[in-house]
Structure 1
Amino acid sequence: MMPNLGLKASTSLEQINDRLQYRPRVFEFYTDAHDMTPNGLTHLTEMIKYVRAAGVRSIVIHHPMAYDHHHNEVAVSAIQDPASYQFMMSSSDALIELAVKLNVQVLIHGAYSDEAEVIKAFGSLKVARQVVFDRLDYFQKLGGNHVMIENSTSPVFDFGDDEVERTVMTHHYRLCYDTSHGFIVLHGDNEKLARSIARLAPQTVHYHFVDSMGEFHDSLPLGDGRIDWYRVMQVVNPKATNIYEIDLADQNNCQEMRDSHHYLTQLVTTKQVS
C-alpha cells in the first residue's frame, strides 16, 4: 500500500487552509463540544463543503473527544452521568445524520476509560463491553457505511485483545485502526501488532498512522517511535484511507504530519525498489 496524504484539523478556517495548500487526499475533522451546537453544526457543514470544493473526496468527522472537561465516552453510565450520556448520544446521532446527508464518514471512538473507571461505572469489564457493543451496534445500524469505529487503549475496546477482536469481527463493524493504540495495548510488540492489523484488515476502512514507544499515548511522528512501519505496510488494507494523527508544535502548521507522510512514502518506495 502506498499511503495517502491524509491530514487532520479542527473546524478553524486557518487550520483548514493550512492543510489544503498541500492538497491532501484525505481530510479528517477534529471536532469539539462547540461544534455540536446549532451554530457549530452549521459551521461544520460549511467547512465540509469547503474542503470538498477544494478537491478532497475522502472526508472523515471524528466525534468530539471531550465533554464538560471529561472524555466523551461511549462507555458512560446513563445512570451515574446522564448529562454526559445525553451528549454522547445526541452528538453521535447529529454527526451521523450530517454524514449521511453529505456523504462523508463519521468516526466513533470505541472507548477512553481505564479499567478502574470502567469497573466503577459498570461493575465489571464484561458488563461495560456489552453496553458499548450494544451502543456501537446502534450507531452502525443508524449510519451504515458512513460510520467507522476506532480502537482504544481502554480495555473496553482494545484491538490486540483476542476477545475484543473476535467480537468486532462477529459484529462486522467498519473499523479505524489507530496504530499507536494497538502498539500500546500490545506493550510495544511489533509481531503482535502486525498480526492484529492483518486480522482486522478486511474490516478496516481507515487508519490513523501515528508512532509510539509502546508505553503510553505519545502521538509521535513516524520514525520517532518503535513501530516497524515497513512491516505494518505489508498487512494494512490497501483499499483503506489514512491520516497522520500526530501531535503538532503549532496547530496551524501541519509540518509533523507532512514529515510523517514523507518518511512513510520514502520507506515504502525504497523497499519496493530494493
Structure 2
Amino acid sequence: MMPNLGLKASTSLEQTNERLQYHPSVFEFYTDEHDMTKNGLVHLAEMIKYVQSTGVRHIVIHHPMAYDHHHNEVAVSALKDPDGYKFMMASADALIELAIKLNVQVLIHGGYSDNDAVVNAFGDLKTGRKVIFDRLDYFQQLGGNHVMFENSISPAFDYGDDEIEKEVMAHHYRLCYDISHGFIVLHGDNDKLVKSVERLAPQTVHYHFVDSMGEHHDSLQLGKGKVDWQRVMKVVNPKATNIYEIDLADQNDSREMRASHDYLTKLMAAEKIS
C-alpha cells in the first residue's frame, strides 16, 4: 500500500485552507462540542461541502473527544452522568445523519477512560465493555457504511487485546486502526502489533498513522518513535484510507503531518526498489 496524504484539521477555515493547499486525498475533521450546536452543525456541513468542492473524495468526521472538560465516552453511564450520555448519543446521531446526507464517514472512538473509570461507571470492566458493544451495534445499524470505530489505549476498547479483537470481528464492525494506540497497548512490541494489524486488516477501512515510543500517548511524527513501519505497511489493508494524526507545534501548520507522509512514502518506495 502506498499511503494517502491524509490531513486532519478543525472546522476553522484557516486550518482547512492550510491543509487544502497541499492537495490531500483524505481529510479528517476534528470536531468539538461547539461544532455540535445548531449553528456549529450548519458550519460543519458547509466546511464538508467546501472540502468536497476542491475534489477531496474521502472525508471523515471525528466524533468530539471531549464534553464539559472531560472525555466524551461511549462508555458513559446514563444514570451517573445523564448530561454526558445525552451529549454522546445526540452528537453521534447528528454526525451520522450528516454523514449519510453528504456521503462522508463518521469516526467514533471506542473509549478513552482507564480501567478505574470504567469500573466506577459500571461496576466492572466486563459490564462496561458490554455497554460499549451494545452502543456500537446501535451506531453501526444507524450509520451502516458511514460509520467506523477507533481503538483506544483504554482497556474498554483496545485492539491488541484478543477478547476485544474477537468481538469486533464477530460484530463485523468497520474499523479505524490507530497504530500508535495498538503499539502502546502492546507495550512497544512490534511483533504483536503486526499480528494485530494483520488480523483486523479485512475490517479496517481507515488508519491513523502515528508513531510512538510504546509507553504512553505521545502522538509522534513518523520516524521519531519505535513503530516498525516497514513491517506494519506490509499487513495494512491496501484499500483503506489514512491520515497522519500527529501532535503539531502549530495547529495552523501541518508540517509534522506532511513530514510523516514524506517519511512513509520514501520508505515504501525504497522497499519496492529493494
The TM-score, its normalising length taken from structure 1, stands at 1.00
Q: Distance in 1 between matches of 2:120 and 2:66?
A: 19
SS at match of 2:137: helix
- 2:8 maps to a residue whose letter is K
Q: Does 1:130 align with 2:93?
A: no
After TM superposition, list the pairs within 5 Å mapping 1:1-274 onto structure 2.
1-274=1-274
SS at match of 1:46: helix
Q: Distance in 1 between matches of 2:144 and 2:265?
A: 32
Percent of pairs identical after alignment?
76
Give the C-alpha shift of residue 33 in structure 1.
0.2
SS at match of 1:235: coil
- 1:129 maps to a residue whose letter is R
SS at match of 2:64: coil
Q: Deviations over 1:206-249 (max 9, x none)?
A: 00000000000000000000000000000000000000000000
SS at match of 1:266: helix
SS at match of 1:165: helix
Structure 2 alignment gaps of length 5 or more: none
Structure 1 alignment gaps of length 5 or more: none
Q: Distance in 2 between matches of 1:11 and 1:114?
A: 29
- RMSD of equivalent CA atoms: 0.3
Give the C-alpha shift of residue 80 in structure 1.
0.3
Q: Distance in 2 between matches of 1:115 and 1:6?
A: 32
Q: Deviations over 1:139-198 (max 9, x none)?
A: 000000000000000001000000000000000000000000000000000000000000
SS at match of 2:222: coil
Q: Distance in 1 between matches of 2:179 and 2:146?
A: 22
Structure 1 segments (4+ residues) deviating >3 Å: none
Give the C-alpha shift of residue 68 in structure 1.
0.1
SS at match of 2:272: helix
The TM-score, its normalising length taken from structure 2, stands at 1.00
Q: Deviations over 1:30-53 (max 9, x none)?
A: 000000000000000000000000
**Aligned pairs, number:** 274
Q: Deviations over 1:22-77 (max 9, x none)?
A: 00000000000000000000000000000000110000000000000000000100
Q: Distance in 2 between matches of 1:258 and 1:184?
A: 23
SS at match of 1:249: coil
Q: Distance in 2 between matches of 1:175 and 1:61?
A: 14
Q: Distance in 1 between matches of 2:68 and 2:144?
A: 29
Give the C-alpha shift of residue 6 in structure 1.
0.1
SS at match of 2:158: coil
- 1:147 maps to a residue whose letter is V
Give the C-alpha shift of residue 271 in structure 1.
1.1
